[in-house]
A = this chain, B = another copy of it.
Amino acid sequence: MSVQTASRTANAPLNQHQDPYPTRLARPLDMPWLKRQEAVVKGRDLDGPLDATQLDEFEDKGFLFEPDFLDAEEIEALREELAALLDRDDFRGEEFAVTEPHSQEIRSLFAVHCLSERLRRLAEDPRLTRRVAQILGGESYVHQSRINYKPGFEGQGFAWHSDFETWHAEDGMPAMHAVSASIVLTENHAFNGPLMLIPGSHRVFVPCLGETPEAHHKQSLKRQRFGVPGREALSELIRRGGIEAPTGAAGGLLLFDCNVLHGSNANMSPDPRSNVFFVFNRRDNACVAPYAAKAARPDFLAHRPGSGWSP
């Protein structure tokens, strides 16, 4: 762990009293959720690939799916890159390489824009960064990157959660000025555990119960037990917005707000599910001390602007 992480930890004030997004609480608040403070789409004045209808849809639902974002040649090149990265023996056992709960298969590899020149170029591709700027309303950096590989029959699901809840609590991300970009490299269908989202859930913040355990990320990346919203809030948000699971051919791009609730089910099919995932955070929203954890998570999970992480 670097010196920078240590300094972020040293004077970590658990500044929950001025925090509009308190979470990891000892007891429930009186209300099921709190109002979101930030606008959702903040760069409507910027030129970019997304038109007004697409920005409206993102604002309304908290996500936008664009089929055919990549062409067949790009998909194939990325698949080869993924296979090569997941096959790297020197990554196995490293903290940034996360395996399935019941096997030694690599499930997620983090910090991939630092591990692969091709993925660094993809993270900086103007087709992505211009879309991101239209949503965030300013310059961004990569807060987190990863590739996910959910093997046939084996991939476990993820419980419903807001990424922002974790990034705020455990990484010290101050406000909701981040957006995730997930590019699917395999066909997504109803039976291979596609990402499910709750449209409209990004407009509220659902505080979660339970103090963050130390080194929580070591198990939360496998199976999340803290940072999971309560069932009453979930039920009401699903009653209002429903559940959507964008499916389609490889090469689609899903942009989703940092605070939209999402989850996934297990992969019941023989087909693997893999994707490339970048989180773009606005530069003026760089992380401070964690809001609800004793120490910040390692850099490979939460990069800083301009930091050059290497394994």
Give me the interface of A with B, judged by CB distance under 8 Å.
152-153, 157, 160, 190-191, 196, 231, 234-235, 238-239, 243, 245, 263, 265-266, 268-270
* Structural contact, A243 and B263, CB atoms closer than 8 A: no
How far is the CB of A95 from the nearest CB of chain B, in Å?
Answer: 28
* Structural contact, B268 and A196, CB atoms closer than 8 A: yes
* Structural contact, A263 and B268, CB atoms closer than 8 A: yes
* Structural contact, B270 and A268, CB atoms closer than 8 A: no
Q: A270's contact among B191, B196, B238, B270, by CB below 8 Å, is which?
A: B238
| Interface SS majority for chain A | loop
Which among A190, A231, A268, A270 has the greatest number of chain B C-beta atoms within 10 A? A268
19 contacts between A and B (CB under 8 A): A152-B231, A152-B235, A153-B160, A153-B231, A153-B234, A157-B268, A190-B190, A191-B196, A191-B243, A191-B245, A196-B268, A231-B270, A238-B269, A239-B270, A243-B268, A263-B268, A265-B265, A265-B266, A266-B266
How far is the CB of A269 from the nearest CB of chain B, in Å?
Answer: 6
Output the nearest chain B residue to A263 by Cβ-Cβ distance. B268
Q: Determine how many copies of this chain the complex contains.
A: 2
How far is the CB of A233 from the nearest CB of chain B, in Å?
Answer: 10
Which among A160, A231, A239, A265 has the greatest number of chain B C-beta atoms within 10 A? A265
Output the nearest chain B residue to A193 by Cβ-Cβ distance. B265
Q: A160's contact among B196, B235, B245, B268, by CB below 8 Å, is which?
A: B268
How far is the CB of A284 from the nearest CB of chain B, in Å?
Answer: 35
Output the nearest chain B residue to A154 by Cβ-Cβ distance. B231
Counting from the closest, the 8 A-B pairs by CB-CB distance are A235-B270, A265-B265, A191-B243, A238-B270, A153-B231, A265-B266, A265-B268, A157-B266
How far is the CB of A145 from the nearest CB of chain B, in Å?
Answer: 26
Contacts of A245 in B (CB 8 A): 190-191
